[in-house]
Amino acid sequence: MPENGIQVAIVGATGYTGAELLRLLLGHRRVQVVEVTSRSEAGRPVADLFQNLRGRTELRFTEPDPQRLARCDVVFFATPNGTAMHMVPEILDGGARVIDLSADFRLRDAESWRRWYGMEHASPHLLEEAVYGLPEIHRQAIAGARLVANPGCYPTAVQLGFLPLLEADLVELDSLVADVKSGVSGAGRKASVALGFSELAGSFKAYQAGGHRHLPEIEQGLSALAGEAVSLTFVPHLLPMVRGLHATLYATLRREADLQALYERRFAREPFVDVLPAGVHPETRTVRGINLCRLAVFRPQGRGRVVVLSVLDNLVKGAAGQAVQNLNLMFGLAENTGLQGVAVLP
């Protein structure tokens, strides 16, 4: 642990995820944020762009310089897909550790990356080294990692929801279904007609039902849990709200089991997974602004289908909060350091 606190930089701090990460890190007692970068806002005070941070930081946005970034203890990338993979090798070589919140290092296979993201991978040699940053599964590996690939919001909610069933070999692997709804902030801060208020308010829609690029990431993780290939039908939806994600997961049981006891036992010691009492349905508002996934498990009419409900804040446990959780593991801190907030209600 560095004596003067963990020196941190955030690359791409003007998007929703980068801003949320900065908000959390400014309240982290063991962290000193020393640099936030933005090519478009270089020179501008951070608090001018994000007024909620007035009085909390005097930082200005800077141009990203890999050599300067490498002098930090850890560098977070909150950049669009395809950016981090060009800069990470030089930063790692300079001695810094990296937590990437984009998808650049989540897939193990460079050809799969090219197929789903439409570009060649610039650093395929790092794909095998990168540790997938889902602490509930890879806690020990994260602690010793140089490079952590922080999972996305959809993959986090779906994998945590299915986790106990796959570990216990309780469900058929060829018919998993994930029906997931997300708030609009999951699409990022960019301007788009399709994401405008008048286009979304009072409406609800699915998108990319024929194949979403988070599918290979989710199947990769689920297959690793199951020890063999998993087939998942994944359909994302857009909700007319800012934050929150709700996943309804379906699987066919192979044998009888006490599902409530299974989930409570598996997550009993997990600080950021809450299994609700039998019969209680989770709500997205109960995780707003906090690093928590709430789960509920049902067996409708006592039949052979299990239904898991999984909710989280897409910007926190689905992105920035999970990145801070990974930071804590990498530097030997208590996992909940800087992540002890309570959800805002109503």
Written as one string, the DSSP assignment of 97-130 is EEEE-SSTTT-S-HHHHHHHHSS--S-GGGTTTP
- The pLDDT score that the predictor gives to residue 1 is 61
How far apart (Å, rounded) are the C-alpha atoms in residues 312 and 153? 8
How far apart (Å, rounded) are the C-alpha atoms in residues 288 and 337? 18
Catalytic site residue from 24, 130, 153, 296: 153
CB within 8 A of 187, min separation 6: which ones? 195, 238
Residue pointed to by tokens 């060829």: 174
How far apart (Å, rounded) are the C-alpha atoms in residues 137 and 134? 6
* pLDDT higher than 70, residue 304: yes
Closest CA to 128 of 16, 25, 220: 220
End-to-end CA distance of the chain: 39
- The pLDDT score that the predictor gives to residue 72 is 98
Question: Which string of b and e fits 110-128 if b means at least 16 CB within 10 Å?
Answer: eebbeebbeeebbbeebbe
Lookup: tokens for 277: 């009492």
pTM of this prediction?
Answer: 0.96
* pLDDT higher than 70, residue 40: yes
- The pLDDT score that the predictor gives to residue 3 is 64
How far apart (Å, rounded) are the C-alpha atoms in residues 231 and 248? 16
* pLDDT higher than 90, residue 189: no
- The pLDDT score that the predictor gives to residue 198 is 85
Q: Can you list the domains of the chain with their CATH numbers?
A: 6-129 (3.40.50.720), 154-315 (3.30.360.10)
Higher pLDDT, 274 or 191: 274
Which whole-number Å values give the CA distances from 31 to 65, 77, 120, 203, 205, in the listed order?
Answer: 21, 16, 35, 41, 40
Q: What average pLDDT does this structure show over 16-23?
A: 95
- The pLDDT score that the predictor gives to residue 191 is 73
- The pLDDT score that the predictor gives to residue 187 is 77
How far apart (Å, rounded) are the C-alpha atoms in residues 278 and 273? 15
10 bridge partner residues: 36, 76
Residue 231 near residue 304, CB atoms below 8 Å: no
> For the chain, what is the mean pLDDT?
96
131 bridge partner residues: 148
293 an active-site residue? no
How far apart (Å, rounded) are the C-alpha atoms in residues 35 and 47? 14
37 bridge partner residues: 11, 62
Lookup: tokens for 24: 């959390």
15: DSSP letter: S
